[in-house]
Amino acid sequence: MDVLNVPWFSVVVGSVFVYFLYRRLWKVQSGLPLPPGPPPLPIVGNLLQLGGGKATEVMLALSQQYGPLMTLRLGTKTVMVVSSPAMAKEVLKTQDHNLAGRWVLQAAKTLDQHKSSIGWAEYGPHWKKLRRISSTELMTSRRLQALQHLRSEEIFRTVRLIFEERGKRVNISHTVFYTGLNLLGKMIFSASVFDPNNPESMEFKDAFSLSMKLAGTPNVADFFPFLAFLDPQRLCRQMAINFRKVHKFLDVYIQDRVAKRGKNVEQNKDADKDFLDVLLDFSGPDLTIKDIRALIFELFMAGSDTSATTIEWAMAELIRNPHTMKRVQEELDQVVGHNRRVEESDIDQLPYLHAAVKEVFRLHPPIPLLVPHQAENSCEVAGYSIPKNSKIMVNVWAIGRDPTVWEEPLKFIPERFLEGDKSKIEYKGQDFELLPFGAGRRICMGLPLAHKMVHLVLAALAHSFDWALPDGLPSEKLDMSDELGAALKKAQELTAIPTPRLPHHLY
Of 74, 75, 58, nearest to 66 (Cα)?
58
The candidate with the shortest Cα–Cα distance to 91, out of 362, 360, 425, 435, is: 435
Which amino acid is located at 180 in the chain?
G
Show the low-confidence residues of the chain (pLDDT under 50): 1-16, 18-19, 21-29
| pLDDT score at 227 | 95
pLDDT value at position 30? 55
Predicted confidence at residue 506, as pLDDT, reads 95
**pTM for this predicted structure:** 0.91
- How far, in Å, CA of 397 to CA of 367, rounded? 9
| Residues 74, 256: Cα–Cα separation, whole Å | 46
Domain-by-domain residue ranges, the chain?
31-506
304: CB partners within 8 A, 6+ apart? 177, 180, 181, 184, 208
pLDDT digits (tens, 9 = 90+) for 419-434: 889 999 999 999 999 9
Residues with Cβ < 8 Å from 356, sequence gap 6 or more? 314, 317, 318, 324, 328, 414, 458
Q: Which phi-psi region, left, alpha or beta, contains residue 176 (left: φ > 0; alpha: ψ -120 to 50)?
A: alpha
d(CA 183, CA 233): 34
**Alpha helix ranges (H) inside 284-390:** 289-300, 306-320, 322-335, 351-363
Select from 445, 500, 458 the least CA-distant residue to 139: 445
**φ and ψ at residue 64, rounded to 5 degrees:** -65, -25
Residues in the chain, overall count = 507
| pLDDT at site 196 | 84
Which residues lie closer than 8 Å to 65 by C-beta, 6 or more apart? 38
List phi, psi (to 5°) of 503: -55, 140
* Binding-site residues: 444
State residue 267's pLDDT score.
63
The pLDDT value recorded for residue 263 is 75
Nearest to 485 by CA among 352, 228, 355, 306: 306
Cross-sheet strand order for the sheet of 170-171: 170-171, 495-500, 465-468
Structural contact between residues 130 and 383, judged by C-beta atoms closer than 8 angstroms: no
Other beta carbons within 10 Å of 370: 25
SS3 of 24, please? Answer: helix
Give the residue ranges of the annotated binding site for heme. 444
Query: 347: which DSSP letter?
Result: G
Query: Helix/strand/coil (H, E, C) string of 138-172?
Result: HCCHHHHHHCHHHHHHHHHHHHHHHHHCCCCCEEH
Which amino acid makes up residue 5? N
The candidate with the shortest Cα–Cα distance to 16, out of 58, 72, 63, 76, is 76
pLDDT for the residue 28: 39
Quickly list H helices, 216-271: 220-223, 235-262
Across 456-486, b (16+ Cβ under 10 Å) vs e yields bbbbbbbbbbbbbbeeeeebeebeeebebbb
pLDDT value for 392: 98
Q: Is 350 helix (H, G, I), strand (E, B) or coil?
A: coil
Q: Pairing relation of β-strands 77-82 and 391-394?
A: parallel
Consecutive H or E run containing 281: helix 275-281
The CATH topology of domain 31-506 is Cytochrome p450 (1.10.630)
Predicted pLDDT of residue 400 = 97
State the Cα–Cα distance between residues 183 and 151, nearest whole angstrom.
6
CB-based contacts of 406: which residues, under 8 Å, 6+ apart? Answer: 362, 400, 416, 422, 433
- Tell me which DSSP letter residue 471 carries: G
**Interstrand relation of 391-394 and 373-374 (parallel, antiparallel or unpaired):** antiparallel
